Amino acid sequence: MTRKITPIDRILLLITCLLAAYLVVKGVEGLPILATWAYATAFGVLLIAGLLIIINGFDVLDSHLVVIVAAIIPLGLSLGMVIENLPPDWYLAYLVFVVIGFLAILLTRFLIPDRAATIVLATVHGAAGLLIFGLPIALVLQGIKAPMYLFMSAGGALIGIGGMLLAFLKSGRPILSAERIFMLLPWILLLMSASFVLGLGA
Amino acid sequence: MTLKTTIQSILKTLSVKTRLYWQMTKSLQTGLLLSTGLAGYMSARCPIQAWQTLLALAGSLFLAISGSTVINMVYDRYIDARMPRTQKRPLPSGQVGVVEALVLGGVLSVTGIGWAALLSPLFGLIVFAGLFFDVVVYTIWLKRRTPWSIIWGGIAGGMPALAGRALGLGAIDWVGLIFAMAVLLWIPTHIMTFSLRYREDYARAGVPTFPSTYGERTTSIIIALSSIATAIAMAFAAYGIGITWGYMRLLIILSCGLLALAIRSMVRPSFKMNFSLFKFASLYMLSSMALVVLGVL
């Protein structure tokens, strides 16, 4: 399914890792502690995933664990955004959704047949993805956040594109050829990280 | 022969010798150990201001580590000659003579330790201890007798970090010991992964290893446990050094990555998984050193 990783892929992924490391160290400072850790966990998973792809190539993505670990990125980002921007009642409810959603993904991957697991994954991912994409737009339109915060939506959209390309590829009905998907993936991850650096900087 | 061709011939010989000598210093391994020494020194919060000391520390450590590596290669030349992975090295392939290599190793070691002792007697003593454990205890005494020799290789590997911190502080403290312990615990990951990958080579060369003595499964588990212990020791060292919270957060995340890989490697041991863990652990060690430096600036 996968293609051989090239030096350019490795360079792009290395820059992605450095941006993710920057976000963990500096990008999330000054936020409520829970938001800091939610963002840091998401960027940390991105960092570790990037390093593992650099080390082992795209074969890493064949593992069944990837789906579970990859879910942490949108869940962590959306939770961070909610805690950062919405009242405590909202974020407590969303925190419950994130915990239950993650556990549901984890359990269905191991216990229930493929179809049900895919529905759970799509629901949880979809909700988190919509939040990452929609919340910044709403906040900017209301004048609560600077327009630069829209880069968070761009990052969210890129996560969605990357996730869909990989999900359809894994399901055996690829939107693009595997070769093209793995050629695009490092660029998508890099642009996503850069978007979050710009968005959180706002 | 004209003067021009003589100079060209000398330059060519010099260039070839430099390349061969450089190969004998195992530049990557030496670089990684050097980085632990620099990080140890900077962890004592005396980095940029004392750049002359920093340069002297780097120079003396580089010479001492390279020197011990070259002397080890002299002693291990028969082992190297029996293993396909190492038989093209300058000594077993005959590109460098034994006496020449011994002189090179001796000069590098003595210069390195002398320079280190001039900087600070305590620093010099620790650098000497590292060289002694590496060459005498690990390579000459134990390597051919027991797989547990790697513990001494690990202790030798931890010395640059301890020496660097001792130079910065003027004394040995618990943080320096834990810091050195983190490197010590990382080294079995490195050596055992190689002994798993080149198990038959080591057997042919008559070197006892963990896979040949205790089996692959046990070795895989020890590699994973060693990685976990490395992450724990590094976290304690970073806490003791007092690195800023942002860098601590990154270190925790990298440690979690290492722990996850180690646990997966224990649950489903395979060579591929082990090699992946080994590479990540090396990257982890290098990143941790960078974080310690950045975290105290």
* Mean per-residue pLDDT, B19-30: 91
B189 falls in which pLDDT band (50, 70, 90)?
confident
Task: Tell if the CB–CB gap between A51 and B280 is shorter than 8 Å.
Answer: yes
Chain Cα centroid distance, residue A72: 7
Report ipTM (2 d.p.). 0.89
Residue B14 clears pLDDT 70, i.e. is over it: yes
B48 falls in which pLDDT band (50, 70, 90)?
low
Q: Which residues on chain B are in Cβ contact (under 8 Å) with A65?
A: 264
> What gap in Å lies between CA B221 and CA B210, rounded to an integer?
11
A180 to chain B, any CB pair closer than 8 A? The answer is no
Residue A147 clears pLDDT 90, i.e. is over it: yes
Of the candidates A42, A53, A60, A44, the one whose C-alpha atom is nearest the C-alpha of residue A12 is A53
A1 falls in which pLDDT band (50, 70, 90)?
low
pLDDT of A79 reads 95
Residue A175 and residue A164 in contact, taking contact as beta carbons nearer than 8 Å: yes
pLDDT of B223 reads 87
Least confident of A177-186, A192-201, B174-183: A177-186
* Mean per-residue pLDDT, B176-186: 93
Which residue carries 């513990």 as its tokens? B151
A2 falls in which pLDDT band (50, 70, 90)?
low
pLDDT of B44 reads 86
pLDDT by residue (tens digit) across B194-253? 888 888 888 888 899 998 999 988 888 898 899 889 999 999 999 999 898 999 999 999
State the pTM of this model.
Answer: 0.85
Residue B99 clears pLDDT 60, i.e. is over it: yes
> What gap in Å lies between CA A162 and CA A1, rounded to an integer?
16
Residue B178 clears pLDDT 80, i.e. is over it: yes
Percent of chain A with pLDDT over 70: 99
Which ranges constitute the DSSP H helices of chain A?
Answer: 7-22, 33-56, 65-85, 88-111, 114-141, 150-170, 178-201
* Mean per-residue pLDDT, B49-61: 88
Residue B216 and residue B269 in contact, taking contact as beta carbons nearer than 8 Å: yes
Task: Tell if the CB–CB gap between B246 and A25 is shorter than 8 Å.
Answer: yes
Residue B115 clears pLDDT 90, i.e. is over it: yes
A18 to chain B, any CB pair closer than 8 A? The answer is no
B263 falls in which pLDDT band (50, 70, 90)?
confident
A107 to chain B, any CB pair closer than 8 A? The answer is no
Helix axes B3-24, B98-119, angle to 10 degrees: 70
Q: Which residues on chain A are in Cβ contact (under 8 Å) with B273?
A: none
pLDDT by residue (tens digit) across A56-75? 888 888 777 888 888 899 99
Q: First CA to last CA across chain B, in angstroms?
A: 57
Task: Tell if the CB–CB gap between A41 and B253 is shorter than 8 Å.
Answer: yes
> What gap in Å lies between CA B176 and CA B169, rounded to an integer?
10
pLDDT of B121 reads 96
Higher-pLDDT residue of A27, B67: B67
Residue A5 C-alpha, separation from nearest chain B C-alpha, in angstroms: 15
Joined together, the tokens standing for residue A53 give: 């792809």
B111 falls in which pLDDT band (50, 70, 90)?
very high
Percent of chain B with pLDDT over 90: 60
A40 to chain B, any CB pair closer than 8 A? The answer is yes
Higher-pLDDT residue of B163, B85: B163
DSSP states along B76-98: THHHHHH-TTTTTSTTTTTSS-H
* Mean per-residue pLDDT, A29-55: 92
* Mean per-residue pLDDT, A138-158: 93
Q: Could you tell me which residues come within 8 angstroms of residue B191 by beta carbon, excluding any fewer than 6 positions away?
A: B150, B153
Task: Tell if the CB–CB gap between A44 and B276 is shorter than 8 Å.
Answer: no
> What gap in Å lies between CA B188 and CA A1, rounded to an integer?
35
